[in-house]
Structure 1
Amino acid sequence: MPSMTDTARAARTYGAFLFDMDGTIINSLAAAERVWGRWALRHGLELESFLPTMHGKRGIDTISALNLPGIDPVAEAAEILRGEIEDVEGVVAIEGAADFLASLPQERWAIVTSAPADLARARLAAAGLPQPSIMVTAEDVLVGKPDPQCYLRGAERVGVDPSDVLVFEDVMAGVAAGEAAGADVMVVTATHRHPLETEYPTLSDYRCIRAGIGPDRRLSIRRCD
């Protein structure tokens, strides 16, 4: 059952919804960790401590932050991307996400992901989710999450002010990006292995919510009856 801890915020209407992808509308955890795990082992990294750090960020940012000697982050990120596009086994939609997205006006929602466009489209197809008409991907920003550039660009593309957006996210890098952009944030916990300490409302999945669409086409979130 989703929990909405802030009643006033839950009742608010928005000009648009912006969704992170991995962990927010799809579960690609196993596939991503298979590919990144193989790469990490080749470079002598300890999986238990490394794998939690690579979620929600651009691959090149994750690799650059490691400061591994003799490593070309651009080349390594390209290698990982090829592996992730080829390995979409087990990528599935978060429960209820397909129906929830299908209920939204196409021009009022977008995906804002740290994944490159080719990977995003491959994973959405594998999960059986619609390809959005508006999407912001890794190629569209100079600096990845937690920088707010991605969500500022997403708001621009759907034609609303960032303060009139509800961002759906699952990890702290994305939450910080949405917050810094001036948006409201909803945290999706479907793939969380450990509780995420957050002041924001949370959803376990999309099964028990539906989108409200007002006569002015503004969006809200409502519990299912």
Structure 2
Amino acid sequence: MTDLPTRSYAAFLFDMDGTILTSIASAERSWTAWAITHGLDVAAFLPTIHGVQSVETIRRLNLPGVDPVAEAAAITAAEMLDVADVTPIPGADVFLAALPAARWAIVTSAPRELAKVRLAAAGIPLPPLLISAEDAANGKPAPDCFLLAAERLGVAPADCLVFEDAPAGIAAAEAAGCAVMVVTATHGHAIETKHSTIDGYVGIAATAAADRLTLCRM
């Protein structure tokens, strides 16, 4: 964990998977089964699935005879049935519950129905604003989703702090002009980043005053 930013923000924007909950095992089980079916090198392929829309992951492979939309839908259906070990990042549920309702949003590359299932499995209530894969024309690393979240909250992107864990999401937040906090809870190794980092939400809180949010240690 690095030093927390000292400035205040109008809103906090949270990625979902790897940032407020962990679904890595669930996702990798579904994607492993799919990769084996298509003759892919599983070890080389799995690192490419995180932080981006499923349809884009499949589209990049350019597999002959494969319909990325249909395949992504099938993988999503499998993931929705496999959430028994989806859990919140330490302290995330308490941290989120204390935020003012109009000052935060979840911005995820997951389809809306999968997001709902994973949030429920992790014991995290649906937020007032959920931006999912269906809502933005271009997925991460494009900035569209974070720009849309800021617009719907009625704040400037530059006045938002984005909590992210994956390179694609970090790049999207940077492109949107947002400040970034990198969550390292699910990282298997140290990450090189110019941004502040936290390994979870235990021991931190957000103070709210005059429609501003400021991170602090408890």
Structure 1 runs not aligned, ≥5 long = none
> Shift in Å at residue 195 of structure 1?
1.9
SS at match of 2:9: coil
- Which of 98, 113, 120 pairs up with 1:118? 113
Amino acid in structure 1 at the alignment position of 2:163:
F
Give, in angstroms, the shift of residue 197 of structure 1.
1.4
In structure 2, how many angstroms separate the alpha carbons of the residues matched to 1:176 and 1:102? 27
Name 1:3's counterpart in structure 2: 2
Structure-to-structure mapping, 1:155-170, within 5 angstroms: 155-170=150-165
**Distance across 2 between alignment mates of 1:113 and 1:141:** 10
Count of aligned pairs between the two proteins: 218
Q: For residue 138 of structure 1, what is the amino acid of its counterpart?
A: A
Aligned with 1:178 (options 157, 160, 173): 173
Alignment of structure 1 residues 34-183 onto 2, 5 Å? 34-183=29-178
Superposed displacement of residue 3, structure 1: 2.0
Q: Which of 19, 33, 41 is matched with 2:14 structurally?
A: 19
> What amino acid maps onto 2:97 in structure 1?
A
Amino acid at match of 1:58: Q
Aligned counterpart, 1:203? 198
Whether 2:194 is the aligned partner of 1:218: answer: no
CA root-mean-square deviation: 0.8
State how 1:22-33 maps to structure 2 within 5 Å: 22-33=17-28
Moved over 6 A (4+): none
CA offset digits 1:160-197 (Å, max 9, x no partner): 00000000000100000000000000000000012221
Shift of 1:210: 0.6
Residues 148 and 178, structure 1, Cα contact 8 Å, conserved in 2: yes
TM-score (ref. length: structure 1) = 0.95
Q: How far apart are the structure 2 equivalents of 1:197 and 1:89? A: 32
The letter of the residue matching 1:22 is D
Amino acid at match of 2:207: G
**C-alpha distance in 2, partners of 1:173/1:56?**
6
* 1:217 Cα offset (Å): 2.1
- Contact persistence 1:3–1:204 (CA under 8 A): no
Q: Unaligned regions of 5+ residues in structure 2, if any?
A: none
| Identity %, equivalent residues | 56
TM-score, with length taken from structure 2: 0.98
**Superimposed CA distance per residue, residues 68-124 of structure 1 (whole angstroms, 9 cap, x where no aligned partner):** 111000110010010011111200000000110011001100000000000000000
